[in-house]
Chain A
Amino acid sequence: MHFELNEEQKLIRKMVRDFAENEVKPIAQEVDREHRFPVETFRKMAKLGFFGLPFPEEYGGMGADSVSYAIALEEISRACGSTAITFIAQTSLAASPIYRFGNEEQKRKYLVPLARGEKIGSFGLTEPEAGSDAGATRTTAVLDGDEWVINGQKIFITNGSIADIVVFTAKTDPARGTHGISSFIVEKGTPGFRPGRDEDKMGLRGSITSELFFEDCRIPKENLLGSEGEGFKQFLITLDAGRIGIGAMALGLAQAAFEAALKYSKEREQFGQPICNFQAVQWMLADMATEIDAARLMVYRAAWLKDQGVHFTKEAAMAKLYASEVAERVCFKAIQIHGGYGYTREYEVERIYRDQRLCTIGEGTSEIQRLVIARVLLGL
């Protein structure tokens, strides 16, 4: 057993850290405050190849392993949560199912521009009536000649209103329950497909989360992803891997909050000395560092298992559950250590606290993670 990153993983961490510190972090506070999607950051990341990280070179990617991808997400999150969720939606959620389940033509047409970041991608699973119970999809797809006719609504879709390419689920056979769900690809501008409003969120305010509407929207027959009736299975697989991403995001946000608190504790003086001299503060810092370390090991291990090609459903759910709950506790303490200053917008821990809050909700709530873990444990 060894716990060291390999040469390539180290190079990737260094490169992403440099990029994140110089290009992403300096505007993190601004995009949050202004509620602005930083398209310039998206373009810079595209040029460097971020969005193709896990895909083979022939599809415009790098073919990096999952550990490298987790590291890249962790480092981007350490600078800005909004940028991380945009990255996740593009790569883990939109491009990845096309890579896994798409045919050659779909990969050429949709995966390549997504991997290169020439197009913005998005993944529409959640609906007003289908959140944790994502199998309860009400959106329908009916084949009419050479076209699918789509009707329905999606909600909370990251990158939704700005996406050029949306992968989404709909019922093709309502009688067959979850076996009657299929996945499709729709392009921006297709008649009958339109974004609704963008959410006004607590955090991740530099990312876009939208409603999507389908009203007799016609898409070509060949835009079905994989086979009919496979949609449910497909998104379970997509979310398994996606959870490693949310785990890495929580980890990076926790790390950022911890570093800010550590620094502040050395600078802030009360009772004639830096507050890091007080054991109460030291214990908070020690707990934060310990929990982050455990979370990091879990996230990297889940990614490593995926790279080994073995089952990782349970470990990915555990990593996501644990890392996201660690982020909550670490950010809570980071603000505590900052005192009143931490409660103001002047200090980044306030933003990080709001940003990390999504991590126990998105891609399956903590409760759903526990359900997934228990199912594996009990063989259900």
Chain B
Amino acid sequence: MNSIVCIKQVPDTEIRIEIEDGRVVEERLQYVINPYDEYALEEALRLREKFGEGRVTVLTLGPERAREAIMQALAVGADEAIHLADEAFQGGDAYATAKALAEAIVRLDLEYDIILCGKQGVDHDNAQVGIALAEMLNLPHVSVVTGLEVAADKSKATARREVEEGKEVVETPLPAVITAQKGLNEPRYPTFTGIRAARKKPIHRKTAAELGIDPKVVGAAGAKLEIVSLSSPPERSAGRIIPGSPVEACRELVRLLREEAKVV
């Protein structure tokens, strides 16, 4: 069972994002693997374990620092990684990113039974790359998946999706693109031997030129959208502590919810 897992490095959600002059101040950020991509990676590892064969290939588009995320993915158990590390790939929108990923997959002639992505990046929250990638590769796509079963002959997969007030179960032929939602699995921690082994695993760094990709169709040049402004959400006003015994405090809370907040 060969899987490609698309992994993005994103700012740690626990860190406050500062915006200056319409630009995110990157210098003070700390980065992590996009949490939804961790579910995708975990699922790929489980599939490899279940089938007892195959490889998990990590595909990452990002600047130099994204190597840290790649190393983490290798430490958790991925077999190898492809790092699209080139200025030409930078600054794109979801379309341009999907384009670069699709081109890389085709031009490197990667073997895969399934492509797994996170359902969205927690930085820009576009939730588009996986879908666009499927379209560009002419593959079926199941989004926001919380359960996955692959048939023994790897010809098809059954995916579970949470929909408003219910569950949906769909079947798709493979290869397909699956985007992972929280609940799909519980990602493992890397082991120390995994961390040590990561050093010896291959990371193939590729530029647009090396892949024969026209730099005009990827990155900032290939983007269809332009971010014209960026601003922080308004400061939340401070919470309020309602004093008194639990019974009194509850009574007061209900009164406030009713009369001030007007929500009940």
A residues at B contact (CB < 8 Å): 7-8, 10-12, 14-15, 18-19, 47-50, 52-53, 57, 61-64
Verify B71–A48 contact, CB threshold 8 A.
Answer: no
Verify B189–A62 contact, CB threshold 8 A.
Answer: no
Verify A49–B75 contact, CB threshold 8 A.
Answer: no
**Residues of the B chain whose Cβ atoms lie less than 8 Å from the Cβ of A7:** 68, 71, 199
**CA distance in complex: A21, B195 (Å):** 19
Q: Is B198 an interface residue (CB 8 A)?
A: yes
Q: Which secondary structure dominates chain B's binding surface?
A: helix
Verify B192–A53 contact, CB threshold 8 A.
Answer: yes
How many residue pairs link A and B with beta carbons under 8 A? The number is 45
Q: Is B22 an interface residue (CB 8 A)?
A: no
**Residues of the B chain whose Cβ atoms lie less than 8 Å from the Cβ of A18:** 189
**Residues of the A chain whose Cβ atoms lie less than 8 Å from the Cβ of B75:** 11, 15
Q: Which secondary structure dominates chain A's binding surface?
A: helix
Q: Is B72 an interface residue (CB 8 A)?
A: yes
Verify B72–A62 contact, CB threshold 8 A.
Answer: no
**CA distance in complex: A52, B71 (Å):** 21
**CA distance in complex: A57, B194 (Å):** 12
**Residues of the A chain whose Cβ atoms lie less than 8 Å from the Cβ of B196:** 8, 57, 62-64
Q: Is B193 an interface residue (CB 8 A)?
A: yes
Residue pairs across A and B with Cβ atoms less than 8 A apart, 30 shown, are: A7-B68, A7-B199, A8-B195, A8-B196, A10-B68, A11-B71, A11-B72, A11-B75, A11-B190, A11-B195, A12-B192, A12-B195, A14-B72, A15-B189, A15-B192, A15-B195, A19-B189, A47-B191, A48-B189, A48-B190, A50-B192, A52-B192, A53-B192, A57-B196, A62-B193, A62-B195, A62-B196, A63-B196, A64-B192, A64-B196
**CA distance in complex: A19, B76 (Å):** 13
**CA distance in complex: A61, B71 (Å):** 20
Verify A11–B198 contact, CB threshold 8 A.
Answer: yes
Within 8 A of A (CB), among B152-190: 189-190
Report the nearest A residue to B198, measured CB to CB.
A11
CB distance from A46 to the nearest CB of B (A): 11
Known: A49-B192, A50-B192, A53-B192. A8 touches B199 (CB 8 A): yes
CB distance from A42 to the nearest CB of B (A): 15
Report the nearest B residue to A274, measured CB to CB.
B238
**Residues of the A chain whose Cβ atoms lie less than 8 Å from the Cβ of B192:** 12, 15, 48-50, 52-53, 61-62, 64
Q: Which of B72, B191, B198 contacts A48 (CB 8 A)?
A: B191
CB distance from A54 to the nearest CB of B (A): 10
Interface string of B193-207 (1 = CB under 8 A from A): 101101100000000
